[in-house]
Amino acid sequence: MKVEIQKEELGKSISFAERVAGKNTTTPILGTILLKATGNLLTLSATNIDLSLEVTIPAKVHTAGTVAVPAQFLNNFVSSLYDTNKVVFELENNNLVVKTNHSSSVVKAIPHDEFPSIVRMGDGKQSVTAKDISQGLKSVWWAATAASIKPELSSVYMYHSGDNLIFVATDSFRLAEKRVQMKKVPESPPVLIPYKNIADIIRFLDQVKDTCDMFVSHNQIAFATPTMYLASRVLEGVFPDYKQVIPKDVKTTVTVLTHDLQQSCKLLQVFTDKFNQTVFTIAPDQKKFEVRTKNADVGETVVTLDVKAEGEPIEMSFNHRYVSDVFPVLTTESVTLVFSGLARPMVVRGIGDNTFMYLLSPMNK
């Protein structure tokens, strides 16, 4: 094997592959990146079994060949190369020799015979706009939990309804739903995409300028472009019928500027204790909306906001961190908070945006 590659393209591809490769695995081959040179291309492959990636970049291949190298080391090494635009990989004595204008290094390789085959999905191919899928995932995945014995709590549920592709995530205390309207909605089975794979799927999609192919089956979801392929396993399980917990009656509504509510939450964060309890007090007849928190060790604070409020007076407590988590995905200047009575969830929607909903359960006082 002997191949010449542009360093910038190589570095980006290795960085992506290193994120996918297995970490702290008892199977050394899963912690490697497989480099395969053939024709005028270099293909980098990485997998941790749950998630698999292939990236193909242009290269000048003098001699075809294959080698597996520890992913983290290779990423650190290539990112440290300086003052060079070109990198030469050459296989000598079953090790990888890396040459630049100013250096020559030997990197110990790992026998690649046991590297798992990345079998590309062929059935169910549908063309989708990468931005749409990315937007859907970004809007909700933070509402899931990173680890849970219940798959529906550690995943993003994706399904189609009418002309919408719908993304939902919940950790049982809060739930986020995003509806993405598409010209051609993929008619694919509903799937639970693992939380731990979402960040890499988003990263993949954000590199796609326009459309990509999406494949969905009962055990995998994959995305492909002419130069990249990413496949994730999907979880077994049944997502709850979450529509049953969305309150249908309205007792109190509050309309507030998104920026005002966000800034008040930042101030309250200084005072919150380990329970993150924040109290919302709404008095519609006084056009009053107060948010307050108390910490026995440092003090307390109260913020009064200018709002438009209707309905019954109400006072409820919420987890401050859960309230704050929604702000990065809100895109409207104002939001409406809808209350259906004590001990019932609060629903947050952006004014003029009916594609996103956030449901948050109250805390016990």
C-beta separation of 234 from 191 below 8 A: yes
Q: Residue 199 to residues 16, 51, 54, 203, 321: CA-CA distances in angstroms? A: 11, 11, 17, 6, 21
Q: What is the pLDDT of residue 287?
A: 87
The reported pTM is: 0.93
Is residue 21 a contact partner of residue 46, using CB atoms and an 8 Å limit? yes
Give pLDDT, residue 186: 77
138, containing H or E segment: helix 130-140
Neighbours of 351 (CB within 10 A): 14
Determine the pLDDT at residue 365: 61
State the sign of the Cα–Cα–Cα–Cα dihedral 142, 146, 149, 154.
positive
The answer to whether 311 and 250 are in contact (CB under 8 A) is yes
Give the number of C-alpha atoms closer than 13 A to the C-alpha of residue 246, restricted to the C-beta side. 14
Question: How far apart are the C-alpha atoms of 98 and 335, rounded to whole Å?
Answer: 55
pLDDT for position 69: 97
Architecture of domain 2-107: Roll (3.10)
The helices-and-strands tally (H runs, E runs) of the chain is 6, 26
**Each residue's pLDDT expressed in tens, for the chain with a length of 365 residues:** 999 999 999 999 999 999 999 988 889 999 999 999 999 999 999 999 999 999 999 999 999 999 999 999 999 999 999 989 999 999 999 999 999 998 999 999 999 999 999 989 988 889 999 999 999 999 999 999 998 889 999 999 999 998 899 999 999 999 999 999 987 877 788 999 999 999 999 999 999 999 999 999 989 999 999 999 999 999 999 999 999 999 999 999 999 999 999 999 999 999 988 888 999 999 999 889 999 999 988 999 999 998 999 999 999 999 999 999 999 999 999 999 999 999 999 999 999 999 999 999 999 76
- The matching CATH number, chosen from 3.10.150.10, 3.30.470.20, 3.40.1710.10, 3.10.130.10, for 126-242 is 3.10.150.10
Q: Contact at 8 Å (CB) between 219 and 234?
A: yes
Q: What is the pLDDT of residue 148?
A: 82
Contacts of 358 (CB under 8 A, 6+ apart): 143, 174, 175, 176, 177, 326, 347, 348, 349
* CATH number given to 246-360: 3.10.150.10
In the chain, where the domains are located = 2-107, 126-242, 246-360
The pLDDT, as a whole number, for residue 274 is: 86
